[in-house]
Amino acid sequence: MPFQFALSALGKGNGFSTHHAYLAGQLDLGPGSDVAALAQKVKIEVTPELDTTYPGRWVGDITVTYTDGTTEHLFIDNPTGTAENPMSQHDLDAKFRDVTSASLGTERGNTLLHAIQHGDPDQPASDFASLLKV
């Protein structure tokens, strides 16, 4: 989790393509990297009271302390992607493209997304399945 926070805070992204870039050796997260340096400063505290107060929900209670000693606090009880705070269609489409671009490429991923959203319900399943082949 510290690396996830560091990736996001440093503007490097935190989606599938970011993780894929790391696995492909295109993103340095090793010792001495800016991501590793920030990740070492992240402290995570488990707060069982949050589980009791918000059962079955994803909540976050985050406090950032800056080098000058000032702090910022953020509490999230309905993160993006939950039933209470659904993702916009634009964000869902962007996430789909992020997840499919490495295996299908941009053009084929867009073709698949279009088929999912606007496809012919009478299209044979084998035609649709052909869009999934890597």
Report the predicted TM-score, pTM, of the whole model to 2 decimal places: 0.72
d(CA 21, CA 45): 29
Give CA separation, 47 vs 32, 43, 62, 97, in Å. 31, 13, 11, 35
Percent of the chain whose pLDDT exceeds 70? 100
The mean per-residue pLDDT over the stretch 104-125 comes to 92
Burial (CB < 10 A; 0-12, 13-18, 19+), residue 6, is buried
Q: Residue ranges per domain, the chain?
A: 2-76, 89-130
pLDDT range class, residue 93, cuts 50, 70, 90: very high
Residue 134 has pLDDT above 80, yes or no: no
